[in-house]
Structure 1
Amino acid sequence: MAELVYRPVIGAAQTMFKALDLKIECRGSEHIPRVGGAVLVSNHISYMDFIFNGLAALPQKRLVRFMAKDSVFRHKISGPLMRGMKHIPVDRKKGEAAYAHALNSLRSGEIIGVFPEATISQSFTLKSFKSGAARLAQEAGVPLIPMALWGTQRIWTKGHPRNFRRSHIPITIRVGEPLEAPADQYAGAITRRLRERMQELLEAAQRAYPVRPKGPDDTWWMPAHLGGTAPTPEAVREAEQKD
């Protein structure tokens, strides 16, 4: 079926990134299968993560269908685009339909993109993972593809203004080897292995990141354990519980 929306959107995104002169460095795209279904699993630190996840799959000539909250599909601008790109809306109160949709897509050979943390991590560390990605991979008989992004939070993230005017921001992407999800194993155990692997990839991306904060006013995007002023995971959890 022709991709009348997805490919033009990719072209527009690439044009924007070129205009901003983003320094995108991606390693490991070869781990994304050229054919067949897979669950692409990423950390979540910005509103733009799915775009960079998708770019990582382009060298393998694959398009990723992302699971995203249904409010994005109801927006007058993003809604038609999300539907046109065949992404999957998720109503968190009625998740069965989204799960079935994703499962059918995997069985038909699609790559499904999942953020197992469910929401953006304001501490820029890995939050606890939901087990849905592992269960999808198990039931569809496809691998999990772990990946990690770093630097995307500097463009647009929760609690901070969009930063589309600043150019030359580096974006580092690491894609790991496929992780099998045997049907006879406990989904929680697979999820723990997945998180451990993604932690390794995230740390590798952070080590490879070519810049550091330029001063006290530029430390907000670094996690506390690396010397930044982003809120700690404990502070984020406390704030979320109050909300």
Structure 2
Amino acid sequence: MIKRNGFFVEDSLAKVPPHPSESREPFYGRTIINAVRAVLKAQDVRISIFGAENIPTTGGALLAINHTGYYDFILGGIPAFVRGKRLVRFMAKKEIFDTPVVGTLMRWMKHVSVDRSAGASSMKEAQTRLDAGHLVGIFPEATVSRSFEIKELKTGAVRIADAAQVPLLPLIIWGGQRIITKDIDRDLGRSHIPVFISVGEPVDPSGDPEEATQRLYEAMKTLLDETRTAYEQQYGPFDGGELWRPQSLGGGAPTLEQAKMLEIAEKERRQAKRAAKAAKKRTPLIRKLFKK
């Protein structure tokens, strides 16, 4: 491995010139990227990248990324950065875009708003970005996997890639969950956490969406297993029971089934909270009606 732009890449990775437009975007390509690099350097996060040559230096591609923590939106764009300082437009839930400041920043960076009640429009926006030659990042598991295994995938990734006729690339992040994720104490200090990021070869998105999604699932699972094995060999052995490691490796994370139950419980709590908030808003109106 050699160090390039602050990240460790494979010796065989060829240098490519900066992307003519993406590398020059003043806000995302310079301000945000430089800020991210400064944060990672301050935390001394050691990032090693494998398979970056699978990312095209020009033109569109859809990156299907596993979701294990809240740094995934940062880490998922790094392989593209070492391939000519390319930028990834991430698909993120609409609620993020609805917040006053963050939403504005997301739009400036040309990220894609995902409205789960209107999925077709979100897919169309992603396809428009791909047609324009951008890289788009999607998390086909939809939410963070508490088990740190690959959850059931949504079919949106293969449908978008097939419609746009662009490469569909599996991308695996491992170690990022040690920094910040669900249900585990965050570690945002200078803790020297190592992170592996692997990019796989293109997956065929054509044909039946369910069958294509199964192909994507198998590719992501295989790449995850390979990445975790390499990580354990380089930085292990670990003591066992670590909350950031899956049970299949001797860690203390919940199983896929246990994680699914936790996700259902979390969803029910959110629905109850929204219902209580809506009821509180209706109360003054009801009181006014009774006074009349």
TM-score bracket, shorter-length normalisation: over 0.9
Output one character per residue of 1:18-58: Cα deviation in whole Å (capped at 9) or x when no partner: 11111100011110011111111110000111211101111
Matches within 5 A, 1:161-240: 161-182=185-206, 185-209=207-231, 210-212=234-236, 215=239, 219-240=242-263
1:45 is the counterpart of 2:68? yes
What is the one-letter code of the residue matched to 2:33? I
One-letter code aligned to 1:193: R
Cα separation, 1, equivalents of 2:147 and 2:101: 29
Find out whether 1:23 has 2:46 as its counterpart.
Answer: yes
Cα separation, 2, equivalents of 1:45 and 1:5: 27
Q: What is the TM-score when the length of structure 1 is the normalising length?
A: 0.93
Task: Name the residue aligned to 2:111.
Answer: 87
AA at the equivalent of 2:179? I
- Report how far residue 207 of structure 1 moved: 1.1
Question: Which residue in 2 is equivalent to 1:72?
Answer: 96
SS of the equivalent of 1:60 reads coil
Residues 205 and 213 in structure 2, CA contact (< 8 A), matched pair in contact too: no
Partners of 1:106 and 1:98 lie apart in 2 by 13
Instruction: Provide the rounded CA distance (Å) in 1 between the counterparts of 2:140 and 2:152.
Output: 8
Q: CA distance change for structure 1 residues 44 and 213 in 2, over 3 Å: closer, same or farther?
A: farther
Q: What amino acid is the match of 2:132?
A: S
Aligned residue in 2 for 1:107 = 131
Contact 1:21 1:168 in 2 (8 A): yes
Summarize deviations over 1:82-115 as a string: whole Å, max 9, x none: 1111101111112222111111111111111000
Structure 2 gaps, min length 5? 1-20, 269-292
Please say if residues 146 and 176 of structure 1, whose CA atoms lie closer than 8 Å, have aligned partners that are also in contact. yes
Q: Which residue does 2:79 correspond to in 1?
A: 56
Are residues 159 and 78 of structure 1, via their aligned partners in 2, closer, same or farther at CA, if it must alter by over 3 Å? farther
Compute the displacement of 1:74 (Å). Answer: 2.4
Q: CA RMSD in A?
A: 1.6
Identity over aligned pairs, percent: 44
- If asked which structure has higher relative contact order (CA below 8 Å, sep 6+), I would say 1
| Matched pairs, number | 240
Distance 1:51 1:89 in 2: 17
After superposition, the C-alpha distances for 1:100-159 in whole angstroms (9 at most, x for unaligned) are 111111111111100000000001000000010100111111110111110000001012
The counterpart of 1:97, out of the listed 110, 113, 121, is 121
Q: Counterparts of 1:213 and 1:121 in 2: how far apart (Å)?
A: 23
- Which runs of 5 or more structure 1 residues have no equivalent in the other structure? none
Letter in 1 for 2:46: K
| Ranges of 4+ aligned residues in structure 1 off by more than 6 Å | none
In 1, distance between residues paired with 2:100 and 2:181?
Answer: 21
1:192 maps to a residue whose letter is Q
CA offset at residue 160 of structure 1?
A: 2.4
Which of 167, 177, 180 aligns to 1:143? It is: 167
Q: 1:18/1:30 Cα in 2 relative to 1: closer, same or farther (>3 Å)?
A: same
CA spacing shift, 1:181–1:108, aligned 2, 3 Å: same
